[in-house]
Structure 1
Amino acid sequence: MSGEGAPRLSVTDCEGLRVAVVAAQWHEKVMDGLLDGALRALKEYGVTDPTVVRVPGSFELPVAAKGLADHGYHAIVALGVIIRGGTPHFDYVCEAATMGLTQVSVNTGIPVGFGLLTCDNEQQALDRAGLEGSNEDKGHESVTAALATAVLLRDLAVHRR
């Protein structure tokens, strides 16, 4: 299972963080699970009023994340799913979305939680979507990672003063 070895993160002091979630629309059932997991995590960590925006597909995640980063958010969570088909299209979209989200995070200094599932088949996506019977909840995990990084960056900025 790919989730083996994952760290157990303890995230505190998230109140007051402005967080946005950008979610693709392809593969509705999987996306519903990812988005539900992300919103549940935000609530658990005390983040109120997250902004949620939807984009057509995973290819559009980076440009939307960049737009959100430019509007004062402390963290962004990007959710999407790409399922391998019979053409190289899968490889191009996976690489473009991954590199684009990385670029947004590094260039803006805003953490981007990586909730992009890149799966060989629909069952793999369902197993990671946080749905009943799923083995993993990548929506929740992506929020946890983004918030842990946002808190770290905030704390580093305070210590520099």
Structure 2
Amino acid sequence: MAGHGAPDLRADGRGLSVVVLASQWHQTVMDGLVDGTRRALREAGVTDVVELRVPGVFELPVAAARVTTEPVDAVVALGVVIRGGTPHFDYVCDAATQGLTAVSVRTGVPVGFGVLTCDDEQQALDRAGLPGSAEDKGHEAATAAIAAARALAGYHRP
């Protein structure tokens, strides 16, 4: 299991504002990721949440760039890309990863990376946080974003 050895990142999210960006492809998987994210935000006490659906994973970076032009403490980006028979998979995964990283570094706003990059649909279902799934990557991405936002909020240069 990929989560073996993961730290306990639970953090108090009260008072934080979070934007959840979710792609529309692979509805069943996305429903699980979004539900896991909502549950993590609720558990952390985050009440200022905006959800925005975008067409696909490729659109997540531009959406993150737009929503971080206004005050926000964290972004959670959710999507799934399933490998096909062409290099399209590689281009979309690389563009999303590089784009979301660039937004986070440029703005200083943590972006929880909840983009599944899977070889087949079963791998995506196993990570979607659905009943019977081994992992809940939506919950993990939201928890990481909250923990990073809380850590950065406490940073003051000595």
Q: Please, what TM-score do these two structures have when normalized by structure 2?
A: 0.97
Partner of 2:94: 95
State the 1:29 CA deviation: 0.2
In the other structure, the counterpart of 1:113 is 112
Give the ranges of 4+ consecutive aligned residues of structure 1 lying more than 4 Å apart after TM superposition.
none
Measured against aligned partners, the alpha-carbon deviations of 1:106-137 in whole angstroms (never above 9, x if no partner) come to 00000000000000000000000000000000
Letter in structure 1 aligned against 2:23: A
Q: For residue 6 of structure 1, what is the aligned residue in structure 2? A: 6
**Structure 1 residue 5 displacement after superposition:** 2.1
For residue 103 of structure 2, what is the aligned residue in structure 1?
104
- CA RMSD in angstroms comes to 1.0
The amino acid of 1:32's aligned partner reads D
Question: 1:50 aligns to what SS in structure 2?
Answer: strand
Deviations 1:67-123 (A, max 9, x none): 111111100000000000000000000000000000000000000000000000000
Quote the Cα distance in structure 1 between the aligned partners of 2:127 and 2:149: 24
3-state SS in 2 of match to 1:104: helix
Partner amino acid, structure 2, of 1:81: V
Percent same amino acid at aligned positions? Answer: 66
Gaps of 5+ in 2: none
2:78 pairs with 1:79: yes
The match for 2:137 is 138
Shift of 1:138: 0.3
Q: Once the two structures are superposed, what CA deviation does each residue of 1:34-66 show, in whole Å capped at 9, x if it has no partner?
A: 000000110110000300000000000000011
Q: Is the 8 A contact 2:22 2:34 kept in 1?
A: yes
Number of residue pairs aligned between Structure 1 and Structure 2: 158
